[in-house]
Structure 1
């Protein structure tokens, strides 16, 4: 059953696709049916550009998604402690 859970957010970054590096301005975070994983549901992140067709897609299980979120939070905390955030 589809969950239709989608949480879009504006981002500023870059990703590497089939044609090289491109600017990314949107991330669509969803919890729904994955394309490649065999799980019934997965956390899916699509990093998108304004350029049609440019995207990086990621699928992971909930445990991995929580670990990734914790690792991102910890890396930012350490960068802040080191006064390295710009």
Structure 2
């Protein structure tokens, strides 16, 4: 079942697409049928710069377990980094 619920957040970073690196300005997260992954439903994350057009997008489709593991890995990496090292410049 698809919820059509999408969480969108502003982002600051970089992504690599078919034309090389571009600035990321947005991330969208939703649970839906995947386009490519061989599962019924996945957690889909689109990192994008909508103002640059559809090619400025990096998409991932993760199982629920993988998405939760990614959250924990991000938290662990940030917790292990020296204070302020990941802060915006």
**What TM-score results when the alignment is normalised by the length of structure 2?**
0.88
Counterpart position of 2:41? 41
The Cα shift of 1:5 comes to 2.1
1:20/1:85 CA distance change after superposition, 3 Å: closer
Q: Determine if contact 1:5/1:32 at 8 Å carries over to the other structure.
A: no
The Cα shift of 1:65 comes to 0.3
Aligned length: 84
Give the whole-Å Cα distance in 2 for the aligned partners of 1:21 and 1:48.
Answer: 11
Task: Flag structure 2 segments of 5+ consecutive residues without an equivalent.
Answer: none
Superposed CA deviations along residues 38-69 of structure 1, whole A, max 9, x for unmatched, are 21110000011020121000001000000000
Flag as ranges the 4+ runs of structure 1 deviating above 3 A.
none
Please give the root-mean-square deviation of Cα atoms over the aligned residues, in Å. 1.0
The Cα shift of 1:78 comes to 1.1
Secondary structure of the residue aligned to 1:38 is: coil
Give the whole-Å Cα distance in 1 for the aligned partners of 2:71 and 2:29.
Answer: 12
Give the whole-Å Cα distance in 2 for the aligned partners of 1:74 and 1:38.
Answer: 28
**What TM-score results when the alignment is normalised by the length of structure 1?**
0.91
